[in-house]
Amino acid sequence: MPGVLSTAVGFEGGTLPNPSYKDVCTDTTGHAEVVEIEFDPAQVSYEQLVEAFFGLHDPTQMNRQGPDYGSQYRSAIFFHSPEQEQIANQVLERSRAKFSKPIVTKVEPATTFWKAEDYHQQYLAKRGLGSCHI
């Protein structure tokens, strides 16, 4: 997406410091698998990123995405400011009309982002895939 400068896969919202993918997969750490996005607001707005988020996954699935399940697969937006919180909630409300089932996405204050291991970064690209199965 134009304006996205970099992305990093990792974990957020849990209690275990510096968790590994193996730790998070136990479904006991409280972390969600997330993507941290660095973007240029002169090229792409936070609102546009949140709108893309609702188009890139199924926000109606509780604690799962496709065949992957567990609380680490919950749909969540971690905000960094009151303005981001307000925008995320506004986009969430507008998005409700686009889905036949209730949206379960949670809008939560950002906590510590823990970057996942290198083998998780650009996971699909490393495997020659353009997009995931969802």
Summarised one tens digit per residue, pLDDT across range 44-95 is 999 999 999 999 899 999 999 878 899 999 999 999 999 999 999 999 999 9
The answer to whether residue 67 sits within a structural domain is yes
Report the domain count for the chain: 1
The answer to whether residue 131 sits within a structural domain is no
The answer to whether residue 134 sits within a structural domain is no
The rounded distance, in Å, linking the Cα atoms of 32 and 55 is 19
C-alpha closest to that of 89 among 97, 74, 99, 79: 79
Q: What is the pLDDT of residue 10?
A: 96
